[in-house]
Amino acid sequence: MIGAKMRTERLSAWYGTKAAIKEISINFEEHMVTSIIGPSGCGKSTLIRCMNRLHEVVPKARAEGKVLLDGEDVYELDAVSVRRRVGMVFQKANPFPTMSVYDNVAAGLRLNGMRDRKKLDEAVYRSLKQAALWDEVKDSLDAPGVSLSGGQQQRLCIARALAVQPEVLLMDEPCSALDPIATAKIEDLVFDLKKEYTVVIVTHNMQQAARVADYTAFLYLGKLIEYNVTRELFERPAEELTEKYITGRFG
Amino acid sequence: MPEKVRIVPEKAERKALAMGLQALNENMITLADLSELAIRKAVDGLARLDPSVADEVFLLDGEIYALQIEIEKNCIDLIALHAPVARDLRTITTSLKITTDFDRIGRYAKDISEITLKFRGKEPNHLRNLGSIPEMTELAIRLVDKAIRAFVARDAESVRHIQEDDDAVDLLEDRAFQELVDKMKAGTLDVEIGARYILVTRYLERIADHAVNIGQRVVYMVTGERMPRVRAAQRANDPHA
């Protein structure tokens, strides 16, 4: 264990008066993959949306508690810089519809003011390579991003997130709309990405959590029920609720 | 036998897995019953030097082997089709492991029956020469029964210290060995016959060891806790080991 790259401390979040997560404290270890599992509505997505301050953009949404990135509370930092350091990939691939493959990847860098074509080329190449997409799109960088297959679009979004060189990558059910082959590619990618990034992945697919994650957190009704090394959590969960959920005995 | 445990969850969302686990459990209980029956018949046949029992034990051994293969297939199917986790996974992997123990118990029962056949007409002093073997037999069978009951009832606590019960079997094996060697040295026991009695004690000791394996695997299956293997001498020095 290298140490926690990110940490939540008694983090609670609300939509209006409805609490979505309640006093969640988790360490996200550096260069590790942490998966967050739990039934729909348990607060998985809210938790990661608090981690890069996306939660607050929803009207009447608010959060309490702390989210620490390298020991600094992200709520005391500039929200835009937090989102640059903590990237997010969403459930549904969402490439910018009017942009080419190249421009999709370069978009974040251009927003940050990068104009040097050579540097942009390098960053686009590096990001597409890291996202395991380069070989498939290197001859069609000018084609519209939306012309790619679903799995390629998701990897394009991962490349776009990686282009600004974040430190943490949050993935919100990144494979839920993908077939098994595209899913396997993303999972292989996650395995490679942890060498350079800290990855947090929300998933409904427990086998996926078991395959890709070093640590797993189980959330239920907005509370953290159990957090442990993935192997332990799936072989001998400490909590009866976890046992019931992962074995499909949830009534 | 204690009441059988119902494996099917009340609100099973994964009915196919639950039904598969139920079938596996029933097969495991049958396997356990057959193994215990084989060993009981084998030692009964030996005590009475009754060769007619041997055929029944050979038949049981064949059935135990066939059922072991079927259970192995059950387990592989469940793993391949349902990706089980937690207690389900532990139940399946434990079943896979302890079928081998039950198979070995069946095999030793067969070995004891083979010795019974060899004694026929050659061992006039059988009852006298048995010495500590009946007591050892009783303990070994009690251990097998205890392990099986724990498996059926999913009762980890009753077998948490099963290794200590096995110490008594080991001591009796040493005692029986000494008795037999003394008789052979004194010339009151034919060496070939004596050697076969020693084999019987070895089979009984191994049966008890397999019962310990089963008991310790039951602890893992129920609690997820792996029991350390501690040698008797070490346990004597540190009762908490």
Q: What is the nearest CA distance from A23 to chain B, expressed in angstroms? A: 27
Q: What are φ and ψ of residue B99, in 5° steps?
A: -60, -35
For residue B166, give its domain range.
Answer: 15-234
Number of Cβ atoms within 10 Å of the Cβ of B122: 12
Residue B1 falls inside a structural domain: no
Q: What is the DSSP string of B177-200?
A: HHHHHHHHHHTSS-HHHHHHHHHH
Which residues on chain B are in Cβ contact (under 8 Å) with A243? 86-87
3-state helix vs strand vs coil in chain A, percent to 5: 40, 25, 30
* Predicted local confidence at residue B10, as pLDDT: 47
Q: Which among B85, B154, B225 is the top mutation candidate for probing chain A, defined by the most A β-carbons within 10 Å of its own β-carbon?
A: B85
Largest CA distance in chain A: 57
Which residues on chain B are in Cβ contact (under 8 Å) with A234? 85-86, 89
Mean pLDDT confidence for A117-143: 95
Q: How far apart are CA A18 and CA A53, in angstroms?
A: 18
* Predicted local confidence at residue B4, as pLDDT: 52
Query: A18 — contact with chain B (CB < 8 Å)?
Result: no
Q: List beta partners, residue A18.
A: A15
For residue A42, give its domain range.
Answer: 4-92+166-246
Residue B135 falls inside a structural domain: yes
Residue A103 falls inside a structural domain: no
- Asked whether the beta carbons of A157 and A95 are under 8 A apart, the reply is yes
Residue B224 falls inside a structural domain: yes
Q: What's the total number of domains in chain B? A: 1
Q: Give the number of A-B residue pairs with CB atoms closer than 8 Å.
A: 42
Is residue A152 over pLDDT 70? yes
Residue B217's nearest CA partner among B108, B93, B87, B107 is B93
β-strand pairing of A198-202 with A18-29: unpaired
Residue B74's domain is classified under what CATH number? 1.20.58.220
Residue B52 falls inside a structural domain: yes
* Predicted local confidence at residue B13, as pLDDT: 46
Q: List beta partners, residue A73.
A: A68
DSSP letter assigned to residue B203 = H
Chain A residue at shortest CA distance from B7: A249
Residue A34's domain is classified under what CATH number? 3.40.50.300
Q: What is the pLDDT of residues A56-112, one digit of tens each?
A: 999 999 999 999 999 999 999 999 999 999 999 998 889 999 999 999 999 999 988
- Asked whether the beta carbons of B49 and B119 are under 8 A apart, the reply is yes
Residue A161 falls inside a structural domain: no
Tokens 């938790």 correspond to: A47
Query: A102 — contact with chain B (CB < 8 Å)?
Result: no
Q: Do A247 and B87 touch (CB under 8 A)?
A: yes
Q: According to the 3-state scheme, what is the secondary structure of A2-15?
A: CCEEEEEEEEEEEE
Residue A209's nearest CA partner among A74, A29, A38, A64 is A38
Low-confidence ranges of chain B (pLDDT < 50): 1, 8-13
Residue A150 falls inside a structural domain: no
Nearby residues of B32 by Cβ (< 8 Å), 6 or more positions away: B102, B148, B151, B152
Query: A180 — contact with chain B (CB < 8 Å)?
Result: no
Residue A51's nearest CA partner among A225, A162, A169 is A169
* Predicted local confidence at residue B228, as pLDDT: 84
Q: Which of A246, A250, A251 sits opposite B86 (nearest CB)?
A: A246
Query: A251 — contact with chain B (CB < 8 Å)?
Result: yes
Mean pLDDT confidence for A160-167: 94
Q: What's the total number of domains in chain A? A: 1
Which residues on chain A are in Cβ contact (under 8 Å) with B217? none
Which stretch, A2-6, A139-143, B80-84, has highest mean pLDDT?
A: A139-143
- Asked whether the beta carbons of B141 and B36 are under 8 A apart, the reply is yes
Which residues on chain B are in Cβ contact (under 8 Å) with A235? 85-86, 89-90, 224
Chain A residue at shortest CA distance from B225: A236
Q: Do A234 and B83 touch (CB under 8 A)?
A: no
Q: Do B85 and A250 touch (CB under 8 A)?
A: no
* Predicted local confidence at residue A2, as pLDDT: 57
